Structure formats: structure tokens, C-alpha cells
A and B are shown apart, each in its own frame.
Chain A
Amino acid sequence: MAEDKYKEARIGVFLCHCGTNIAGTIDIDAVREYAKTIPNVVVVDNYAYMCSTPGQNKIADAIKEQNLTGIVVAACTPRLHEPTFRNATAAGGLNPFRFEMANIRDQNSWVHMHQPEEATEKAKDAVRIAVAKASLLEDLIPKSVPVEKTAMVVGGGVGGMQAALDLADAGIKTYLVEKSPTIGGRMSQLDKTFPTLDCSQCILTPKMVDVYRNKNIELLTYTEVEAVEGYIGNFDVTLRKKARGVLTPAEAEARGIVGGGCTGCGDCAEVCPVIKPNPFELGMAPRKAIYIYHPQVSPLIYTVDFDSCVKCGLCVESCGDKKAIDLDAKDELITVKVGTAILALGYDIYPIEKKFEWGYKNYDNVITSLEFERLICASGPTGGHLIRPSDGETPKRIAFVLCAGSRDNTDTGKPYCSRFCCMYSLKHAHQIIEKIPGAVPYIFYMDIRSFGKMYEEFYYRIQNEGAKFIRGRVANITEDPVTKNLHVNAEDTLLGRPIDMEVDMVVLAAAIQPSAETEKTRRLFGVSCSQDGWLLEAHPKLNPCGTTTAGVYLAGVCQGPKDIPDTVAQAEGAASAASIPIHKGEVELEPYFAVCLEDKCAGCGMCVYQCPYSALSLVEKDGRTVMHVTEAKCKGCGTCGGFCPGGAIWMQHFASPQIVAQIDAFLLGGEQ
């Protein structure tokens, strides 16, 4: 099907300067003159910014004037501007898939900045190769598939909650999947929030209630994602509803227990004989084997920890007629269909005991900032009285260690800035000044990063309130074995003098890291991560909520450290992005799927096993067995196309003749 097209090919070549990004290194005039000599090329033009409106108009106009059959733009990357130039190609009246891009910026001028001559030669090669492919391109029609009008949000922290609320308010049925027994995430563990100092629970609890009440949100707590199949518009997600051992009123009713189910009265926990540390209080307070994390949980349904439950049955008795407790409960698998999904998996605290020089878990009075939040919080284990774990005394001199494990390039640290510890440590300084008369916070810092709106002003305020700032990273901490006071050793780099500061308590602003199950969950959704484990956005500037998997979006800290305002902003962005395909009702799939050339297919079926996406099958057609492609499942990876011994599989847009032409163009240097 290729040869005759090749004869009539009429190609236009457009060279972009990208300001000086390309033209500063590559001799555009030389490439232009060269391009005119390439077979099939009928127009060559160049422009400062091909992506601009005048640049795009050049393409559309040339197609109409010169009756072109294919377009080559030599510029940046397809990832950045393929859609732009496809649109320009379509505007000129050509099928948009008759466009081919030559990357002469990222893969050329940027890397060969100091070798302009070689770079120019390489650009000529790139243009010639692109022309060879463009000469063989065909009209392709993207497939549209309908989009399931439901969405899923995984992770019920403030990010996930906001995303679910936005989707639900936009009229989209949304499953909110949370692995723990309640939504709220880290924010529900915080006392106050910078820079406004409003009470975290007071602003979060109403949102938690909204989520619970919203008719469009199906809240699935104590639930994990087990498997994901499908593609944008049609994901089949299998969920594991972990055995909770307690029925909601609705579940009770479904079992015919009228007026039953958990009311959150707590009679069960009262009688439960098993005592365990409460992870919500970071182990600083007890809970029973049947428990809620804290009084504001949503949903207000108790949970049995079957790992520690002794099945004494006392709770069942005390629950009485409500019959809410089922000690024989089993995990349940359910499958739901969704069009798009948002991951909002949050973060964990880095195990800062790995920095043994600071003595966390070794010295009683060295705590983490998250523990500080619980201790200073009125609803926390001490009723908001900050005390020394060693003796219950109120600390007066408190050292805050910033960048504890962050900005650290050793194998016991994280190279990135955790981004909110400067600000929350300022908040902590304020809280002790406010609560403890005569208390002095000593903040050991390298830089104070107060970049947000009203953040620098907050820094000013805390300094004015009397916090002492010492510019130096803490070298080590030692403990006085008798008083359990701590000696903080550092250099005051501004004085140029070593410090040995005796304090009553040390608070480590520990680094954060992706939450425990992020790795597993991201793999299920086919989302990449960067080197440090945070989930990878589609583009750091222009597509910060999307991922490279169509239909899957990111919100909150799982994409990288960010505070609550940034988390909520990204969540709203992700919700908006995730609602677009749903509102459109259908999505176009890139037509890069395999096509069976049935006259060549021997029906051997070998390819069926090769396909990693189970897109192929054998069918009977006109009395013969031939291979059949389920186009919506095919990702165009090319495994089958490269494999088929009979050459019976045509990979649209990456067909063998097209690729061979590119190789020839490269190896033969333009000679035919």
C-alpha cells in the first residue's frame, strides 16, 4: 500500500529557531538549503517560533497552496508540541496524522551546544529521516470510546477529600477509597495550621461530614485497591474491603437487622479487654481491639483489629440489639467501573531514627514534629499539655531541628526539601510561646523557606514573638543520663562558633517520604515515579495534575511535598482534569493500534501470547482462522508487529515500511 503513495508525496518542511534555543547552535540556513534537495520536499520554510500563531499559519497555508501530502516540523519534542502541529496540519485540510516531527532541540542543539557544525549535520539527518517517514504516512482516524460516568479517588486525606467533593459537586458519581478506617489523613492529626493558625480539625471536620453526606460520593474506608484493568474511560478496579467486623446501619439493614448497625456509641470499646497503642496518636495513647481513631472520625463506625482481637465476644454482648458486630467478618472483593481516577496517597514520616546522631527513639525527650502536633493538641493524649516523655515536666527550652533528614545526600537521608517543615516549625515556636510562660524556642535552620502567601510575614511575626534562630544544622545530640536534658551540638555559622546548648526537649522536623503502599498502588495504575519515589506528573509545569497514563491524575503530597493550600489547589486541578473526559462522554484513542493483514495471516496464533495487554485473539472469518485486534485494548507497543513471522501485522503510524524508510534515509544519507 505504500509505494504509490511515495511517488505522489509532496512534503513541506518547517524549521523552528525556538528563539536562540535552536538557531543559536544550528545553522538554520544551511539546513534549509539542504532540505530543499531532499526527495519529495516541495516547500521549506523557517520561523522564530513555529508554535506561534504565525508559525502555525505557515503550515496551514502551505498545505493549501502547495497541495502537500505530509508535514515535517523540525523543532522541540512531540511531547511538547505534537498536538500543536497536528492541529495546524488539520487546519490546512490534511489528516493530522500526516505530520512528523524532527527533534532538533532537546536531542540536538541543547546537548551539542558546543559543536555547532556537527549539530547542523545531525539536524540535516533528522530532517531527512523525518521526510522519509512523512512521505509514507497515511490518513488515520482515531477511535472514540465511551467514558464511564464515574470516577475514583484513592486516598482520603485533605487532597483526596477535596478532589472527591469537586467531582461529586460536578455531578459525577465518585468512589473515595481510603485504606484506614477514617478519612482525614495527616491533616486530622494537626493542631493548628500555618500561617493563619486556624484549628485543623475545625476546618477539616465539616469537610469530612460533607464527604460522608454527599449523595454522589460512595465512601469506601478500610478498603484497598487490589487490581486495575482497562484504560481511560473504562477502568475496572477491584477493591478489597477489609474485614471491619462492624456493620454500618445500611449493611445491618441489608442483613435484615432493622434499626441495627453501629451508632458510634462506643459501648463495645468500653468492655473490650485488649489494649493496643493507637497509631493515630503515634502510639502515645491506647486504644482497644475494637476502636475508632478519634471522636471526629468519618464514618463514625467502629473497627475490629482482628490481629489483636481475642474473640471474647464481650463487645457483641454490649452492642445488644443493634447487632452491629460480626466477629466472623471476612475481606470482601468488589469490582467497580470508573472512567477516570485520581491518586491522592499522601505521605509518611521518614524513620528519623536512622540518623542515630540525633538519638530519636533512644533519648526520651527527642520527639518528631508530628508527635509535637499530638502533644500540643487539646484533643491529644495529654489534653494539649506539652510534656517531656521522660518525667512529665513542662519543657521550657525547646530546640527545633530543621531539615532533619531532608536536603541530605547521604544514604540515611532524602535529597529533597520537605517543603512544609520550616513553616510548621515556626508555628510550633509560636505555640509554645503562647502556651508555656517563659518558654524559648531555639530554631536550628539552614534556610527558612517561607515562600507562600503571607508566609514571610508569619516568619516576621514569630521572630518578633521571641523565637531564637540559630543558623546551623545540628551535628549531634547527647543526653544527660540523670536529668534527661539534651545537649544540642551545632555551629552557629553566623557567629562562626560551635554551640553546646542544653535544652529540655528536642523536636525533629523529620523529612517525609511516599506513604507505605504508594509503590504498590502506583504500579496497579501504571503511574511512574521519580527517583525519590514521588509520583510523576505528565509535565512539571504544563501538566502537573496529569500522569503519562491517560485518565489517571495526581493530587497532594503523593506527587511531591506540599502544604495544605497547595494540596487543595492541586486536588481541585486534578478533579477538573478528571471530569473533562467524563463530561465529554467519549475519549479518542490514538490510532496507533495493530491491524491484521488478513490475507497474510496464517492464523498461527503465536502473537496472541506475545501481547502484554491481551488485545489479540483468533477468530474464524470466511472459513479461515485469523488474528483479531481489540483496538481499545491495544497500546500500540509493537511487540506483535515485530514478532509476526509472516509480516501480517501492520502497526499503524509505525509500520515496517515507514521505519525501514527512516533507517534507509539515515544509512544511505539521502541516496536512493
Chain B
Amino acid sequence: MAVKKDYKDQKLAEKLRDRKYYIPDSNPEFLKEVEKIGQTPAHMCYQCGTCTGSCPSAPRSSYRIRLFMRKAVLGLEEEALTDPDLWLCTTCYSCTDRCPRDLAPTDAIMAMRNLAFKRDIVPRNFLQTVQLIYKSGHGVPNNDANRAARKKLGLDEEPETTHKYPEYLPGIQKILDHYKLKENADRILAEGA
């Protein structure tokens, strides 16, 4: 456990904080849970970096999928789940395609997101996406600009989805209700407000 230091200046305290890895900081159950939910043996990662090298998010952010794999292996649950970078994966699966150890880093990230959600750690835009899906069946609903573009391309203004067939929306809502996704999103957003 990190040694407590006390500086009057909070910024200095943060800067000089003990950053060593101590065994008690690690929760071995975290690795097991990530592997169970993600269905991938994350502990076999040998830190080659092929995943980060493939990742479209990495060059544009501080997100490093390889470091999340490392934190899973070391059981650094707190650090992994509270890191906002966790939400920067685009789920393109490039890393999973190329990982030489045949792991699915994407699915490990998804597992960590599930675990984070269980603890109400979710960025607001993700929760708003939930609300949008509940309302329209789309994370990114159709809009006028899109409609115009579709028309120009000779497509129907509305795609073959709940936009065209709103009668299927209750089915989608039933699924979200079943998992209490909407309920939780509403609650967390309200608490944060």
C-alpha cells in the first residue's frame, strides 16, 4: 500500500505520490473476472505492443490497450476501472485480429467496462447513448443532414431499422429494461447532475 505523504500543497502531493506497485494494491480476482467475462486468457499477454500499434485510438489519446492488459494481469482493478481511457476503445477489433498470442484485448476491455458499469463508473456520454437507444433504437439517431445525404445517394431517407419500423422499438426497450440499463443510466445521470 502506498505510503501516505502529507504536503500542504495538493498538487505537489499528487506529483510526489508514491507510485510503486505493492502486492496489496492488486486484486487477483480482477484478472479472473476479466477472463471470465471477456472469454480470453488475458494472463497470456507478453506485452509485445502489437495491439497498441494497431489501435486507431492510441495515436490520438493516452489510451494504451497493452497497459490495460498489463493491469488485468497484475490485478490493478482500481487503476483500470477508474481510468477514463477505458472508454476510448472503438471496438474495431484490430488488436484482436493481430495479437500473436491469439488473445482478444477488445473483449478484455469490454469485460472491464462491464465491471466498471457495475460500480457506476461510466462516462456521461455513454449513458446518454443508452437513453438515445431506448428512445430511438439508435445510439446515433438519424438527423436532417443524414436524411439529405441519403436522399442524394438515392437511398430512402430512413434506414431499414427502428426508424422505418418503430413497431420494433418496444422489443428493444424490453431488452434494455430487462438488464435495467435505462433505469441505471437515468439514475447515474440524475445523481451526477
Interface centre among A408, A409, A473, A500 (most CB of B within 10 A): A473
CA A409 to CA B50, docked complex, whole Å: 14
Residues of B within 8 A of A446 (CB): 46, 48
Interface residues of B in 37-54 (CB under 8 A from A): 46-54
**When A473-B50, A499-B53 are in contact, do A491 and B58 touch as well, CB less than 8 Å?**
yes
Contact B48 A472 (CB under 8 A): yes
Chain A residues whose CB sits within 8 angstroms of the CB of B52 once the complex forms:
475, 491, 493, 498
Residue of B nearest to A409 (CB): B102
Instruction: Give, as a whole number of angstroms, the nearest-CB distance from B57 to chain A.
Output: 10
A474-B101 in contact given A493-B47, A493-B48 (Cβ < 8 Å):
no
CB nearest to B47 among chain A residues? A493
Q: Is the CB of B66 within 8 A of A493?
A: yes
Chain B residue nearest to A499 (CB atoms) is B53
Residues of B within 8 A of A490 (CB): 49-50, 53
Residues of chain B with a CB closer than 8 A to A623's CB: none
Nearest CB on B from A27, distance (A): 33
Taken residue by residue from 490 to 503, chain A's Cβ proximity to chain B (1 for < 8 Å, 0 otherwise) reads as 11110010111000
Interface assignment of A106: CB less than 8 Å from any CB of chain B = no
B-contacting residues, A503-554, CB 8 Å: none
CA of A80 to CA of B155 in the docked complex: distance in angstroms? Answer: 75
Assuming the contacts A493-B49, A498-B55, A500-B59, asked whether A357 and B98 have C-beta atoms less than 8 A apart, the reply is: yes
* A445 CB to nearest B CB, Å: 10
The answer to whether B64 and A496 have CB atoms under 8 Å apart is: yes
How far is it, in angstroms, between the C-alpha of A492 and the C-alpha of B99 when the chains are bound?
16
User: Counting CB contacts under 8 A, is B171 at the interface?
Assistant: no
The tally of residues in A whose CB lies under 8 Å from a CB in B reads: 23
Q: Which residues of B contact A491 (CB under 8 A)?
A: 49-53, 58, 64, 66
Is A475 a contact of B100 with CB atoms below 8 Å?
no
List chain B residues, Cβ under 8 A from A407. 46, 100
Residue B67, interface by CB 8 Å: yes
Whose C-beta in chain A lies nearest to the C-beta of B100? A408
CA of A409 to CA of B59, assembled, Å: 27
Q: Which of A407, A413, A489 has the most chain B CB within a 10 Å cutoff?
A: A489
Pair B49/A409 contact, Cβ less than 8 Å: no
Give chain A residues whose Cβ lies under 8 Å from the Cβ of B48.
446, 472-473, 493
A407 vs B59: C-alpha distance when bound (angstroms):
26
Q: In the complex the two chains form, what is the Cα distance from A260 to B49 in whole Å?
A: 63
B-chain residues with CB within 8 Å of residue A475 when the two chains form the complex:
49-54, 94, 98
Q: How far is the CB of A664 from chain B (nearest CB, A)?
A: 46
Asked if A410 lies at the interface with its beta carbon under 8 angstroms from chain B, I say yes
Q: What residues of chain A lie closer than 8 Å to B50, measured between beta carbons?
A: 472-475, 490-491
Contacting residues, chain B, for A499 (C-beta < 8 A): 53
- CB < 8 Å: which of A471, A476, A493 contacts B54? A476
Contact B46 A489 (CB under 8 A): no
Complex contact A473–B49 (CB within 8 A)? yes
Question: How far is A474 from B53 in the complex, measured between Cα atoms in Å?
Answer: 7
Minimum distance in angstroms from A304 CB to a CB of chain B: 44
Could you list some 27 contacts between A and B, CB below 8 A? A407-B100, A409-B100, A410-B99, A413-B100, A446-B46, A446-B48, A472-B48, A473-B49, A473-B50, A473-B100, A474-B50, A474-B53, A475-B49, A475-B52, A475-B94, A476-B54, A489-B53, A490-B49, A490-B53, A491-B53, A491-B58, A491-B64, A491-B66, A493-B47, A496-B67, A498-B52, A499-B53
Which residues of B are interface residues toward A (Cβ below 8 A)? 46-55, 58-59, 64, 66-67, 94, 98-102
